Amino acid sequence: MLVDEERKTLFLTWLGEHGSSVMKVARAYTLTSEDCQDLAQEILLQAWRSLPSFQGKASAATWFYRVALHTAMNWQRKDIPRRAKQQPLFEVHVAGPDVPNGAEQTQHRETVEQLYQAIRQLPKADAALVLLYLDELSYREIADVLGISESNVGVKLNRAKKTLSALMNGAPDGT
Amino acid sequence: MAPDELQQAWQAEASQTRVTVNADLLLRQVRRNQSDLRAIVFRRDTIEVVVVLLLLPYWFYAGHTHALPWTWYLAVPALIWVGGFIVVYRWSLHVEPLGPDEPLVQCAESALTELDNQIWLLRNVFWWYLLPLGAAIAAFFIQVAWQSATNWLETLVAVPLVGFIVALYYLIYCLNQRAVRRQLAPRREELLELLAGLYDDPIENRAQSDKAADVKPAGLLKRLVIFACLCFVCVMAVRLAYQLSVDRGGTGYPRLAPYSAVRWQESQPEIRIDGQWYKLVSLDDIPSDEIVAFSKKTYGDRWQMRFEEDLVEVLSRMGHPPKETVTLVVQPLTSSKTQVLKDVPMTAKNRAELKAAVRVREESSKP
């Protein structure tokens, strides 16, 4: 069993490496920035709680995604969001536009915004597959996160990618 | 745009994002906020079982103190059934919950199983909770109304009481079904949809959906008819038990008395307490005239015998069931001043002596 100090150190290290996946999942499964904050905080709370039961069978990336997706699937918007009752548990820092290749960054940002809009229109399971795919997880890792076979990942991911492309190209229902 | 380009844009955007966490605040928040659905369900179950455990001794105490009829105790097996059912149901279906770091399919299946169990419990609340308790309480009301009434018409006083129970339980039933409809069923649909998108084999998914179709609420009308039938059976059982008791010389009430003998001056009772004779002025603030008048009206020719031997029944049917002790206002035969005798115990010994005295009186009055 990890003592609090070890747990805190490990958690912060992992969060530095995989914290962006928390924000990605939260953003993909919510519509407003307030809800996104609320879900992200819930994911962090769940991750902190689950840390002592981590047995090292999965990688840290897989573990973070499992917790994030499971929490997102169970999350329901609260009438009084968590942020209204407490200080924010985290801060998100995004690099400004004054970096080299600023135009390219802006283009990426627009593409990513479009991606999020498309992902929100996908069924929850397909959204999870697409998120994992975009984060360049292997079929093996995706199968580990979702608990399905690798062959099934291939079949479902192809279908989801087609729907995603259709949505990105403007078909409203992805057909 | 090709999928690989999407990945590139995604990764580029992600590399610009950095999340910093206030770990101390997180730790405090986790410690404060431990209530999730499972904890809420466990807390509710615990409260229900504890309430049952507390109600049981109270039920015996109240029944004994107020000399309530036997139908009062029908709620005891009903309470034990409700508490026992919750414990056994939860225990038999208990599965170690999966943490959120397990694969998504297993988590969703586990959540679906838990949800199905909770839906089953709420949808069937009529059978395991409302019916046993409601029938027991309704039977008690009906018996009290029956025994307090002097004719069939007066028995109808039980109708609003039973109606109140039915209305209250209907409200509880509706609240439970509303929780299923508004909270649990939509969540279940979400989980089924999620699993449908993840299962390798659509047939497996269909099996899950079929399982869902099994969880259907039975008709409300059917439940009301069953409740009415059960109430009718209870009424008949009460009536039969009462008749059998009366036929065997019993009344269904405890055989207790605060005095050991009674004699009469016209319609004025004189009672013997600790070997002393007194005129009875009142009992628990009920004037003796009132008791005698009720006894005459209710029992006709047998009014004296009822007053002497079945005081608990007479007072109960008047709406003033006696406790373990009573307060008597009496007048000694040698004085015009009244005395208040407080906490005079209602004992079976007095009643036995009284009965023996009646027998001696009857023997001596025979030619």
Question: Coil, strand or helix: which one is A103?
Answer: helix
Contacts of A163 (CB under 8 A, 6+ apart): A122, A126, A174
> Which pLDDT score, from 0 to 100, does residue B213 have?
42
Q: Is B101 within 8 Å of chain A by CB?
A: yes
**C-beta atoms surrounding B196 within 10 Å:** 16
**Whether pLDDT at A104 is above 70:** yes
Mean pLDDT for A36-62 is 82
Select the residue of A20, A70, A112 nearest B107 (Cβ to Cβ).
A70
Residue A22 contacts B where some CB pair is shorter than 8 Å: yes
Which of A109-118, B147-156, B253-262 shows the lowest per-residue confidence on average (mean pLDDT)? B147-156
DSSP B237-292: HHHHHHHHHHHTT--SS---BSSSEEEEETTEEEEEETTEEEEEEEETTEEHHHHH
B22 to A63: CB separation less than 8 angstroms, yes or no: no
Q: What is the mean pLDDT of residues B303-323?
A: 86
Residue window 119-148, chain A: list those with CB within 8 Å of chain B. 123-126, 128, 133-136, 144-148
Of B3, B6, B25, the CB nearest to A111: B6
Which of B5, B6, B11 to mutate: most A Cβ within 10 Å? B6
DSSP string, A42-97: HHHHHHHHHGGG--SSS-HHHHHHHHHHHHHHH----SS-HHHHS--SEEEEE--S
- Start-to-end CA span in chain A (Å): 50
Name the pTM for this structure: 0.61
Tell me the pLDDT tens digit for each residue of B336-356. 888 999 999 999 888 888 888
Mean pLDDT of B210-217: 46
Q: Check residue B19 and give its pLDDT.
A: 63
What is the pLDDT, as a whole number, of residue B331? 92
HEC profile for B153-190? HHHCCHHHHHHHHHHHHHHHHHHHHHHHHHHHHHHHHH
- Element containing residue B128 per DSSP (H, E): none
| ipTM, two decimals | 0.72
Optimal mutation site among B16, B102, B195, interface A, most CBs of chain A within 10 A: B16
Q: Which of these, B117, B314, B107, B297, lies nearest to B214 by C-alpha position? A: B117
Interface of B with A in 194-223 (CB under 8 A): 194-200
Residues B252-276 have pLDDT tens digits of 677 889 999 998 888 899 999 988 8
Please give the average per-residue pLDDT across A12-30, as a whole number.
84
Work out the angle at residue A46's Cα, subtended by the Cα atoms of residues A45 and A50, and round it to the nearest 5 degrees. 120
Q: Cβ(B102)–Cβ(A66) under 8 Å?
A: yes
Pairwise CA distance, residues B213 & A175, whole Å: 30
Q: Quick check: A140 pLDDT over 60? A: yes
How far CA A83 is from CA of A21, A25, A36, A78, B80, in Å, comes to 20, 18, 11, 10, 44
Instruction: Choose from A89, A109, A114, A156 for mutation: most chain B CBs within 10 A.
Output: A89
Residue B264 backbone phi and psi in degrees, to 5: -125, 135
Query: Looking at CA atoms only, how far is residue B236 from chain A in angstroms?
Result: 52
Strands B286-287, B276-283: pairing kind: antiparallel
Closest CA to A61 of A73, A47, A77: A47
Can you state the angle between helices A33-50 and B23-32, rounded to 10 degrees? Answer: 80
| A75 interfaces chain B, CB cutoff of 8 Å | no
* B342 vs B161 pLDDT, higher one: B342
Candidate from A94, A125, A136 with C-beta closest to B16: A94
Structure tokens of A115? 């991606």
- Residues B112, B189 contacting (CB under 8 angstroms): no
Q: Give contacts of A2 with chain B, Cβ < 8 Å.
A: none
Q: What is the pLDDT of residues B86-112, one digit of tens each?
A: 888 888 877 666 677 788 888 888 888
Residue B10 is predicted with a pLDDT of 82
Coil, helix or strand at residue B331:
strand
A74 touches chain B (CB under 8 A): yes
